[in-house]
Structure 1
Amino acid sequence: MAGLPVVWAMAGGSIAALLWGDLHMPLAWIAQQTLRGADSSTLASIPLFLLAGEL
């Protein structure tokens, strides 16, 4: 691991995708898709799995 907190790694990946992705999408649509994706249990399991590994 790089020693980077999970929240910063996920935020950095999201920002990189916005910068190098398709910029012709409306920002409201991007926000909706982000919140819809963050609501899934699969995405929530990643930091919880890492937390369980630390314990």
Structure 2
Amino acid sequence: MKTKYKDKMVSSTEEKVEKKNKRSYAFPKEGIVIQASSLEEAQAELAKRLKGEDK
């Protein structure tokens, strides 16, 4: 019982940390690593950076 309870606590803690901390998303094709809290944010940031490089 203790192990199961501990595992549940660990997984719920990881989810909370994941939301607070930014994750790294790597785009190997462009050679860019972006820190963002969601994949959608990372893709939006990638689009901004690529537009900036084209100019």
Q: Which has the higher helix share?
A: 1
User: Which has the greater radius of gyration?
Assistant: 2
| TM-score of the superposed pair, with normalisation by structure 1 | 0.34
